[in-house]
Chain A
Amino acid sequence: MALLETDGLTKEFGGLTALEDVDIAVEEGELVSLIGPNGAGKSTLINTITGRLTPTRGEITYAGTDLIGMEPFEIAQLGVGRTFQTASILPELSVRENVQVAAFAAEHGSFRVNFLSRRDSFDEVQRLTDDILATIELDEKAGMEAASLPYGDKRRLEVAIGLATDPDLLFMDEPTAGMSPTETEMTVELIENLLAEWGMTIFLVEHDMDIVFDISDRIFTLHQGELIAKGTPDEIRDHPAVREAYLGGEEQ
């Protein structure tokens, strides 16, 4: 059985159909990418699956659990993490604290009565925080205020927060947007590392087609809210509907 499955997922905003009958299935351990022109419904799909939006119709199942009607924090606690397209960090907290908040959620669950215990007494949380900071190579900037980071580092911190929730399935919404070529390369390496060594399943939304075709196991293509193609990178590259809707216009 697939790790994540949607069945007939539809999201309407008033008269506008943002998603129409989307059926996708993501297997454990694979890296799938979602592509599509601007306004195709990519972010709506992620927001619907992770609980930010409620679908109009359809089903979402994660590891056998029905996600419809669940709060975002409940979905996160099931092991579905996400990073945001615009760096959604905690600006006035330090880099370390940003990661630590997520580590507390991962280690302690959604709520715990511990307001009389010191946070540095929770070793497992500190360890997870340190691990993530080292993995993302932000450990040298751990003490800095998040707002003062350069843009590329903010994006990396965004990924670090997503990772610190210790997800089994991670949605990454355009993680390399606005990154320098070096940072992009680092992020791609990180993603490959997450797959190979952390055994994570990754759902990537990405505009950089080189990256998508290079690292994806499978690709979903959305166009005007409809899933018009799914398959391996080779199948998608030659798919007439995809070329028509998307690649033809932008990639020459």
Chain B
Amino acid sequence: MRTDNVQPDIEDESSLLSVDRWDRIKHTERFIFLVSVAFVLTFSYLFSRAPVISDVTQGYHGLTITILIWSIFALGFNLLLGQTGLLSFGHAMFFGTASYATALFSIHVFNEPLTIVVVGMLSAVAIGVVAALILLRLHTVYFAIVALAIGQFLYFLANNPLEGITQGINGLEVSRTPVLGVVDLDHEYGGILGELVVNNLYLFVGVFFVGVVVFITRIRKSPYGLIFKAIRENETRASFVGLDVWRYKFAAFLLSAGVSGLAGALLAVNTQFAGVERLYWSISGDVVVMAVLGGLGTLAGPVIGTFVWFYFKGIVNGYPMLGNYWLLMLAVSFTAVVWAYPDGLWGMITSLTAELREPKALAAKVKRRVTGGSSTEGSAGGER
């Protein structure tokens, strides 16, 4: 009966941009797919070549590929922390291991970009199985610290005892071959396509980026998306309704490891190199910062966080004088954003747009701020 009342309202709404309608559309999988495709197609152009905009951003094409790859990493990391609530300080283990596996497979077995990327990803899943068996017995701080320890263990292992295989600090070279023996990754396009994507390498990474966004969107809309959140919110309750929490955490861990490994594998293809520094603990720290800065538990958040991080590292770094302080500035921005908006940059954007939707409330809030804000304090403490 209730649906009968609601239905005509929706159909009567002829305005193309009604708020309700927009709210429904923006969460559909097709919309998210289209947005991610549009993002990949325009990102490099806007950032590095568009008139005016690129003059301001001072971006360059190579950095956009790096940002797409690290976005995949941050999305994979976020699957574990943002969705499931497990904080790992050792995600470099998947990133670095996949990078090595990709390089080693290309050198010793078979060198074709798609194949080696898949091999790299699977190697991260394999590491994930072992790490999960150790880590999922632990909680909170112990989970985070032991993850860090496993990552560092692999770093030292690769650096020294296995130097014969990994070449230690010199690293391994990944020579570039055509995808499926046909598509040359270095091929550069002319015309509009050239303006947008420049070369096949960007497209190659972009396709994986879109694939990961679609994959994670589907996970979020599946029973797993809900169950992961339930475990994050109240693990005890989740087990008492009859869910095998351990196995769901295991699944979340492997999914996260796989996506993170994909990023590591793509980086090896992109840089034609795999080195020991990708296993180093600071890599694990970087990805935490990116995900938290952008906004945990969201899709756009980790991508935005990655962009800002690399904007500081790749662009602000090059500024005269100021450039020396890029890490300091990043740290200050990070602290300021997370202090004011615990949900990160994306949380800041959504809460600002939500306020813009209620012009009267916003006006009242601004007015209160201007006039001294005495009325807010009375109501805040009122409810126990």
Taking Cβ atoms with an 8 Å cutoff, the residues of A that contact B are 50, 52, 71-73, 76-77, 81-82, 84, 88-93, 97, 100-102, 104-106, 108-120, 122, 125, 161, 164-165
Q: Which candidate, B57-65, B137-145, B247-255, B367-375, is the interface stretch facing chain A?
A: B247-255
Q: Chain A contacts of B237 at CB under 8 A?
A: 84, 88-90, 161
Q: Chain A contacts of B160 at CB under 8 A?
A: none
Residue pair B241, A105 in contact (C-beta under 8 Å): yes
Residue pair A116, B222 in contact (C-beta under 8 Å): yes
Q: Chain B contacts of A108 at CB under 8 A?
A: 223
Cα–Cα distance between A128 and B344 once the two chains are bound (Å): 36
Residue pair B223, A76 in contact (C-beta under 8 Å): no
A-B complex: 6 closest residue pairs judged by Cβ atoms: A76-B242, A105-B242, A110-B244, A115-B224, A90-B233, A102-B241
Residue pair B240, A115 in contact (C-beta under 8 Å): no
Residue pair B223, A90 in contact (C-beta under 8 Å): no
A157: min CB distance to chain B, Å: 11
Of A81, A104, A113, the most chain B CB neighbours within 10 A belong to A104
Do A93 and B229 contact each other (CB < 8 Å), given the known contacts A76-B241, A82-B240, A114-B223? yes
Between A and B, how many residue pairs show CB distances below 8 Å?
A: 107
Per-residue interface assignment for chain B, residues 205 to 228, with 1 indicating a CB less than 8 Å from any chain A CB and 0 otherwise: 000000000000011011111110
Residue pair A72, B219 in contact (C-beta under 8 Å): no
B376 at the interface (CB under 8 A from A): no
Known interface pairs A71-B244, A101-B230, A104-B226; 10 further A-B residue pairs with C-beta atoms within 8 A, sorted by A's residue number: A73-B243, A89-B234, A93-B229, A100-B226, A101-B238, A104-B227, A109-B242, A117-B222, A118-B221, A164-B241
Residue pair B218, A116 in contact (C-beta under 8 Å): yes
Residue pair B230, A90 in contact (C-beta under 8 Å): yes
A36: min CB distance to chain B, Å: 23
Closest chain A residue, CB of each to CB of B238: A101
Closest chain B residue, CB of each to CB of A158: B237
Q: Chain A contacts of B223 at CB under 8 A?
A: 104, 108, 112, 114-115, 117, 119, 122, 125
Q: Chain B contacts of A89 at CB under 8 A?
A: 234, 237
B125: min CB distance to chain A, Å: 14
Residue pair A161, B225 in contact (C-beta under 8 Å): no
B239 at the interface (CB under 8 A from A): yes
12 cross-chain CB contacts under 8 A: A76-B241, A84-B240, A88-B236, A97-B226, A108-B223, A110-B247, A111-B244, A111-B248, A118-B221, A119-B222, A164-B241, A165-B242
Q: Chain B contacts of A117 at CB under 8 A?
A: 222-223
Cα–Cα distance between A35 and B222 once the two chains are bound (Å): 42
Select one of B224, B236, B245, B255 contacting A114, CB under 8 A.
B224
A82: min CB distance to chain B, Å: 6
Closest chain A residue, CB of each to CB of B233: A90
Q: Chain A contacts of B239 at CB under 8 A?
A: 71-73, 76
Of A73, A108, A118, A164, the most chain B CB neighbours within 10 A belong to A73
Residue pair B222, A101 in contact (C-beta under 8 Å): no
Cα–Cα distance between A91 and B234 once the two chains are bound (Å): 8
Residue pair B234, A73 in contact (C-beta under 8 Å): no
Residue pair A50, B247 in contact (C-beta under 8 Å): no
A139: min CB distance to chain B, Å: 9
Residues from 69 to 87 in B contacting A, C-beta threshold 8 Å = none
Count how many chain B residues have C-beta atoms less than 8 Å from C-beta atoms of the other chain.
27
Residue pair A92, B233 in contact (C-beta under 8 Å): yes
Residue pair A90, B234 in contact (C-beta under 8 Å): yes
Q: Chain A contacts of B222 at CB under 8 A?
A: 114-119
Cα–Cα distance between A118 and B238 once the two chains are bound (Å): 20
Residue pair A119, B226 in contact (C-beta under 8 Å): yes
Residues from 175 to 221 in B contacting A, C-beta threshold 8 Å = 218-219, 221
Q: Chain A contacts of B221 at CB under 8 A?
A: 118-120
Q: Chain B contacts of A161 at CB under 8 A?
A: 237, 241
Q: Chain A contacts of B225 at CB under 8 A?
A: 115, 119
Closest chain B residue, CB of each to CB of A82: B240
Select one of B226, B247, B255 contacting A101, CB under 8 A.
B226
Closest chain A residue, CB of each to CB of B225: A119
Q: Chain A contacts of B229 at CB under 8 A?
A: 90, 92-93, 97
Cα–Cα distance between A117 and B225 once the two chains are bound (Å): 10
Q: Chain A contacts of B241 at CB under 8 A?
A: 73, 76, 81, 101-102, 105-106, 161, 164-165
Q: Chain A contacts of B227 at CB under 8 A?
A: 101, 104
Q: Chain B contacts of A101 at CB under 8 A?
A: 226-227, 230, 238, 241, 243
Cα–Cα distance between A102 and B234 once the two chains are bound (Å): 13
Cα–Cα distance between A89 and B240 once the two chains are bound (Å): 11
Q: Chain A contacts of B234 at CB under 8 A?
A: 88-91
Closest chain A residue, CB of each to CB of B215: A116
Q: Chain A contacts of B244 at CB under 8 A?
A: 71, 73, 110-111
Q: Chain B contacts of A84 at CB under 8 A?
A: 237, 240
Select one of B226, B233, B243 contacting A111, CB under 8 A.
B243
Cα–Cα distance between A117 and B221 once the two chains are bound (Å): 8
Of A81, A105, A117, the most chain B CB neighbours within 10 A belong to A105
B351: min CB distance to chain A, Å: 15
Q: Chain B contacts of A90 at CB under 8 A?
A: 229-230, 233-234, 237
Cα–Cα distance between A84 and B240 once the two chains are bound (Å): 10
Cα–Cα distance between A93 and B238 once the two chains are bound (Å): 13
Of B225, B227, B243, the most chain A CB neighbours within 10 A belong to B243
Select one of A77, A100, A116 contacting B242, CB under 8 A.
A77
Q: Chain B contacts of A104 at CB under 8 A?
A: 223, 226-227, 243
